[in-house]
Amino acid sequence: MSTAFDTLLDWRMAAAVLATAIAGLMRGYSGFGTAVLLAPIYSSLWGARAGVPVMLLLELFVSLQLLPRAWGDADRRVILPIGGAAFVATPLGAVILLTADPEGLRRFIGGFVLVFGFLLMSGWRYHGSRPLPLNIAVGTAAGLLKGATGMSGPPVILYLLAGTEAAIRHRANLIVFFAMIAIISVVGPLWGGLMDMAVLLKLAVVLPVLMICVPLGARLFHVIPVRFYKPFAMGALMAAGSIALFS
């Protein structure tokens, strides 16, 4: 037990608190950013089998916090099939988390975040239609990623942001999607015994930080122009991916 408490006092926890504050502001402002920023950083600080469960529990709490206001603004015809497919596929991805080499998984998370960041910076988006089979395929890929790495956002973000909808609709769609898979995503790590005391102690430190910063970010959405968000978000993603890949 003393070892678990000792981890709360080292530099890794201070770094985790700072990253959590930034991720909370990003999530509240844009509707995404928690997992794609924190998964590589937590995995680098604590290892994937501790970092991913902490991040998944954070996602559960923040999704429940944001969902009520976003539900009415979301395009449920599109987002419900995507979220349903991800819900089903997430436990399958958790098998990868429980069986993969932790070092290899950490580096995969970092590399994936870097690729995702470069795609966003390039301006590339999917510009086709959104038929039901494609919605299900995107949701399935997102669910597998969620279970294995804690990140479901990249394929869904690239897919949804291609549309011409207003920013408030994009943000609401992402919030509803993340909420749909938040509960199922913690089942695999819980069943696999990863939700131990060390994970819960880390959660107890970073959760209050996130719950404070998300509402602050949500307020910023109505104040700060979106154009100022993208450079900051891209820099944070690049830094997070590089840390996980090269550390």
Model pLDDT for residues 92-129, shown as the tens digit of each residue: 888 888 888 877 877 887 787 778 777 777 766 667 77
pLDDT score recorded for residue 213: 92
Q: Report the half-sphere exposure of 178 (CA within 13 A, side-chain side).
A: 36
Domain residues for 45?
2-246
Model pLDDT for residues 211-244, shown as the tens digit of each residue: 999 889 888 877 877 666 656 666 666 776 676 6
Q: How confident is the model at residue 179 (pLDDT cuts 50, 70, 90)?
A: confident
Rg of the chain, C-alpha, whole Å: 17
CA 108 to chain centroid, in Å, comes to: 15
Exposed / middle / buried, residue 56 (Cβ in 10 Å: 0-12, 13-18, 19+): buried
Model pLDDT for residues 46-77, shown as the tens digit of each residue: 988 888 899 889 988 888 888 888 898 888 88
| Two tokens, residue 83 | 């979220």
pLDDT score recorded for residue 163: 66
In the chain, the percentage of residues whose pLDDT exceeds 70 is 84
pLDDT score recorded for residue 114: 78
What total number of domains does the chain contain?
1
pLDDT over 60 at 4, yes or no: no
pLDDT score recorded for residue 17: 95
Q: How confident is the model at residue 5 (pLDDT cuts 50, 70, 90)?
A: low
> pTM for the full model?
0.74
Average pLDDT taken over every residue of the chain: 81
Query: Can you give the three-state secondary structure of the chain, one letter per residue?
Result: CHHHHHHHHCHHHHHHHHHHHHHHHHHHHHCCCHHHHHHHHHHHHHCHHHHHHHHHHHHHHHHHHHHHHHHHHCCHHHHHHHHHHHHHHHHHHHHHHHHCCHHHHHHHHHHHHHHHHHHHHHCCCCCCCCCHHHHHHHHHHHHHHHHHHCCCHHHHHHHHCCCCCCHHHHHHHHHHHHHHHHHHHCHHHHHCCCCCHHHHHHHHHHHHHHHHHHHHHHHHHCCCCHHHHHHHHHHHHHHHHHHHHHC
